[in-house]
Structure 1
Amino acid sequence: MDKIKTGIYGGSFNPIHNGHIAIARKMTELAGLDEVWLVVSPQNPLKERGDLLDDRLRLEMTRKALAPYPKLKASDFEFALPRPSYMWNTLQALSAAHPDREFTLLIGADNWEVFSRWYHYEDIIAHYPIAIYPRTGSDIDVTTLPPTVRLFNTGLYDISSTLVRNTIKAGGDISSLVPKEIVRMAEECYANIV
């Protein structure tokens, strides 16, 4: 029986925004995936905690934002894993917990540029397909990519969680930046910590 092709899109999602959702939807289509799991990371080893909202609130916002999209799922899988969250550990644990699925790692071109800094990056390349989406300012030479790594033209989405947080801080309107399902929740949650 064919395995369920599942994309793993890790991130802080602090908060999730329309760019995340657009990329996940395009990658589902372009990379031939059955589902994409947006794995809410409790602590990215390459980022400062700073103004990171509580794990459960970020997960709840991600779930609400993804509700209209049946192929996109919010995942708290990393919450039970040792911290900081290393993607190699996450992928290994996911494969053990879900033998019926084939996991593909989804990352931005900016992350591919620093992929050699990732924990066990060579093992990830050897054991999992990697699907890269473009990012402004990051140029990937596709002729240098390993056979298991592909660049997909999802288009560019110049929205960031930092932009959303800064807009809230400035009292601006975020309705064009995040799904309508989470506008109020995001405004309330981040008003106090940005």
Structure 2
Amino acid sequence: MKIGLFFGSYNPIHVGHLIIANHMVEYSDLEEVWLVVTPHNPFKKKSSLLEDHHRFQLVLRATEDYAKIKPSNIEFGLPQPNYTINTLIHLEEKYPQHHFNLIMGLDNLYSFPKWKNYEKILEDHELYVYPRISMNMSSPDLLSHKNVHVIEAPIVEISSTFIRKAIKEKKNIRALMPHNAWIYLDEMNFYK
């Protein structure tokens, strides 16, 4: 099975994440998309994150009604900070019947050469890249690589940072989150 891995802090998950994941599984050759909840992104401060199990619970609830979109906490048991190459090796050993690929925004493709062992990732895995309207830079060289596929997905400019800030300001952002995830977040009084 061809799996797309959509890594993220999901702090919290929002409808933009689901729009991209659903578009990738419906309009590319990916058969499933796994939303991989990352305990600690090496480029982010860990102190700003909700606890791992709460972010996973949000993703779990958000994906309940999507047969081809699965939550994954595979990185929770791996050494931190998490590096994508290590996660890919672990997944290949655990699920040899699957072929794993990465889903990322165009903004991440620009920083991709900074990733640990990025050449090895690109050699062994395909990258499914979605556009970001906020990108003003010239096209990265990697766009012409045989394993990079640009998917004309909807451009969604919602961020978890915006949602956290809006909640602190007592704004109603319910429409920006999957319903079941919003209920959990509201019940737990997160980000207030």
TM-score (norm 2): 0.93
Tell me how far apart the structure 2 counterparts of residues 185 and 163 of structure 1 sit (CA, whole Å).
18
In structure 2, relative to structure 1, the CA distance for the partners of 1:24 and 1:66 (3 Å cut) is same
Asked if the contact 1:109/1:140 (under 8 Å) is kept, the reply is no
Asked if the contact 1:168/1:190 (under 8 Å) is kept, the reply is no
Does the residue aligned with 2:174 lie in a helix, a strand or coil? Answer: coil
Tell me how far apart the structure 2 counterparts of residues 188 and 135 of structure 1 sit (CA, whole Å).
32
Deviation, 1:32, is: 1.4
Does the residue aligned with 1:114 lie in a helix, a strand or coil? Answer: helix
Tell me how far apart the structure 1 counterparts of residues 124 and 186 of structure 2 sit (CA, whole Å).
40
| 1:16-56 Cα distance to aligned partner (Å, 9 max, x none) | 00000000000112221111000000000011123200000
Map of 1:41 onto structure 2? 38
Structure 1 position 167 matched with structure 2 position 173: no
Structure 1 position 86 matched with structure 2 position 83: yes
Structure 1 position 149 matched with structure 2 position 171: no
RMSD of equivalent CA atoms: 1.6
Structure 2 gap ranges (5+)? none
| 1:149-185 Cα distance to aligned partner (Å, 9 max, x none) | 1111102101110111111111111111101112132
Map of 2:180 onto structure 1? 181
Which residue type is aligned with residue 147 of structure 2?
A: T
Asked if the contact 1:142/1:151 (under 8 Å) is kept, the reply is no
Does the residue aligned with 2:175 lie in a helix, a strand or coil? Answer: coil
Once the two structures are aligned, what percentage of the paired residues are identical? Answer: 37
In structure 2, relative to structure 1, the CA distance for the partners of 1:117 and 1:26 (3 Å cut) is same
Residue pairs, 1:1-194, within 5 angstroms:
4-138=1-135, 141=139, 144-189=143-188, 191=190, 193=191
Tell me how far apart the structure 2 counterparts of residues 173 and 9 of structure 1 sit (CA, whole Å).
27
Which residue type is aligned with residue 141 of structure 1?
A: S
Tell me how far apart the structure 2 counterparts of residues 101 and 114 of structure 1 sit (CA, whole Å).
27
Tell me how far apart the structure 2 counterparts of residues 188 and 114 of structure 1 sit (CA, whole Å).
37
Task: Report the number of matched residues.
Answer: 190
Tell me how far apart the structure 1 counterparts of residues 150 and 140 of structure 2 sit (CA, whole Å).
7
| 1:90-146 Cα distance to aligned partner (Å, 9 max, x none) | 111111110110111101111001111101111100010110011122256387421
